[in-house]
Amino acid sequence: MKIGFYPGCSLTGSSREYNESLLAVAKVAGIELCEISDWNCCGSTAAHNLNRELSVSLPARNLALAELEEMDELVVPCAACYNRLVMTQHELAEKPEIKALIEGKLKMTLRNDIRILNVLQFLEKHIVPRLDELVKSPLTYDVACYYGCLLVRPNQVMKDERFEDPMTMDLIMQKLGANAIDWPFKTECCGAGFSVSKTEIVGELSGKIVRSAVDRGAKAIVVACPMCHFNLDMRRPVIESYLQRKIDIPVIYITQAIALAMGLSAQQAGTQRHFVPVNLTVNR
């Protein structure tokens, strides 16, 4: 089986630690992720608001390239990128006239049958079955697993039976030795793309998420989305301004948690790149 890899823009820039930790985990597990050659931006943030055809064409080209490279599965770690690719695949399947239009514009054909995996689906299928042998340094602390909006929505396409209370990340963290707390903010919005234009909204929405995690005793918030990480980590000053209190809980990617539990160094996991220092200690 050839497993494709679409990093998207964020994993090559602002969230490069996500990319580093994912590839490090895959390497330890003996899995080769084959990056799509000549991939392009999926248009996740704004394209669908500006140009309908462009918003479908951008992710469709990446899917066509993956098919040309005969990839059986395509791992898309960024939740926003995953949402755009899987929604495009859904639309192309549901609307033959759109598929024909996009193929004409791209001058590429689409079988539209590649299996697209978000990071949790990839981990659940390819990494979790081997965690018992790969975990060397169990994570013995409480964590809050934060899924955000896009990994579970829209439910009609994602078909997650627990879209309001997903458990995949919780179960992975438990396999790593951590305790995933029960809390009500798993899929609440962090403010997403308002991070630049309306930072005060991010401060309020992300502030409620961070406060809930801290008040329930979590020592870290675990995420699987670059935008969620950006808002909860980099926007900590505006969060603290909204909350009127200092909060030092770190935010880590699920792949970083796995890397650390595998015994990899903080540098290999990329935790030194965060704005909020990652100093995790045993709490039970």
pLDDT digits 0-9 by tens, 199-228:
999 999 999 999 999 999 999 999 999 999
Rounded distance, CA 40 to CA 8, Å? Answer: 7
Question: What phi-psi label fits residue 263: left (phi over 0), alpha (psi between -120 and 50 degrees) or beta?
Answer: left
Rounded distance, CA 5 to CA 116, Å? Answer: 10
Is residue 112 exposed (0-12), middle (13-18) or buried (19+ Cβ within 10 Å)?
Answer: middle
Predicted confidence (pLDDT) per residue in 13-32, tens digit = 889 999 999 999 999 999 99
What is the predicted pLDDT for the residue at 284? 43
Predicted confidence (pLDDT) per residue in 118-166, tens digit = 999 999 999 999 999 999 999 999 999 999 988 887 777 777 767 788 9
Residue 283 has pLDDT above 50, yes or no: no
Rounded distance, CA 149 to CA 225, Å? Answer: 9
Nearest to 258 by CA among 128, 143, 129: 128
Any idea which of 54-68, 73-87, 93-107, 151-165 has the lowest mean pLDDT?
151-165
pTM: 0.94
Rounded distance, CA 184 to CA 218, Å? Answer: 13
Q: Print burial letters for 231-245: b (CB count within 10 Å at least 16), e (below 16).
A: bbbbbbebbbebbee
* Residue 21 neighbours by CB under 8 Å, 6+ apart: 253, 255, 256, 258, 259, 268, 269, 270
- What value does the mean pLDDT of the chain take? 93
Domains plus CATH for the chain?
Answer: 3-119 (1.20.1050.140), 136-273 (3.40.50.11810)
Mean pLDDT across 61-65? 98
